[in-house]
Amino acid sequence: MIASAPGKLFLLGEYAVLEGGPALLVPVKQRAKVTLKASNKSQVISQTTAIKIHSPEEALQHYPLLQATIAELGCMEQLENRQLSLDTSAFFKGGVKLGLGSSAALTVSLVKLFLPEATANEQFLKAVSCHLAFQNGIGSGADIALAAMDQTIVFQQDKSPTPAVLPDDLHMLAIWSGEPASTIGYVAAVHRWRQNNPIAYQFQISALRDTATQCIDALGGGNTQRVLAGIEQYDRHLERLSSISGVDFYNQTHLKMRKKVELARCTYKPSGAGGGDYGIAYSTDKEELLTLADQLKREQKETFVL
């Protein structure tokens, strides 16, 4: 038995999605892969930057995500006389985690593996429960929804995720900052600021939520320029939230990359809630975007076309 699920990047919706706003996400080429096969010895093989082999009991101690998922699914007995392989090596570069949602992708892969007869919606809901147990209740579930649906989606809490179609002339280049970041840490820091500044927080979130809604609505009209304008406006709102909260998740690395991307006549926005990981360059001119990609490659920046 084998199952897999993709990682993700946010195009829109960071922070706002935690307060009921919509988010737009795309799958990436990196995938988590899991396999389960008969064996004369019960073991779990994990591959990230190296291959490690444990007994199931040891694996649960070493990997909290696996422990939370197995506990939620109640499938420990399925590991008896089985070899479970977990492969998230595609989410690492030079020993550094890329920040593309590997934990969500792995969670969904495991749910698909152990609950193959469940409907897609049942698998999604169970994966949300598993991932929330792993993250102590923190998270919107957007990354789980993307991994489960394996396509570009609009996600909003308490609503079923829906497929989304991007304009044919909206071209995107993912750019790795080279700096891993803790999404949970930044979200928690913004939450602490919120507790002392509820009015300012709601003002900033409302701006993000309204912009995300308008931009996603523009997708239906096929107006690529309106979509790009919405992405650029969302970027500025994120920068404002970062600055006014003092959390500084929109750090100097992203600011420098934005300047470089704008000099190439493209639009830039960080992807995700963290201060590192990825940003995305956008353009309606594919050649301009590919020229930017070549430039960044010469500078030894890790990129890939979405």
Give pLDDT, residue 151: 97
* Residue 124 DSSP SS3: helix
Nearest residue to 162 via CA among 183, 178, 148:
148
Q: Which CATH number fits domain 2-163: 3.10.180.10, 3.40.50.1980, 3.30.420.40, 3.30.230.10?
A: 3.30.230.10
β partners of residue 174: 280, 304
Could you tell me which residues come within 8 angstroms of residue 238 by beta carbon, excluding any fewer than 6 positions away?
14, 15, 208, 250, 269, 270
Give pLDDT, residue 145: 95
Place of tokens 């040891």: 58
* DSSP notation for 99-117: -S-HHHHHHHHHHHHH-TT
Q: 154: exposed, middle or buried (C-beta count within 10 Å: 0-12, 13-18, 19+)?
A: buried
- Cα separation, 187 vs 156, in Å, equals 17
Place of tokens 């420098």: 256
- Cα separation, 292 vs 268, in Å, equals 12
- Cα separation, 235 vs 20, in Å, equals 19
| DSSP label at residue 212 | H
CATH topology of domain 171-305: Alpha-Beta Plaits (3.30.70)
Place of tokens 């779990």: 44
Tell me the domain boundaries of the chain.
Answer: 2-163, 171-305
Give pLDDT, residue 178: 85
The pTM of the full predicted model, rounded to 2 decimals, is: 0.93
Q: Contact at 8 Å (CB) between 5 and 29? A: no
pLDDT 10s per residue in the chain (306 long)? 999 999 999 999 999 999 999 999 999 999 999 999 999 999 999 999 999 999 999 999 999 999 999 999 999 999 999 999 999 999 998 888 898 999 999 999 999 999 999 998 899 999 999 999 998 877 789 999 999 999 999 999 989 999 999 999 999 999 998 887 778 889 999 999 999 999 999 999 999 999 999 999 999 888 899 999 999 999 999 999 999 999 999 999 999 999 999 999 999 999 998 777 899 999 999 999 999 999 999 999 999 999
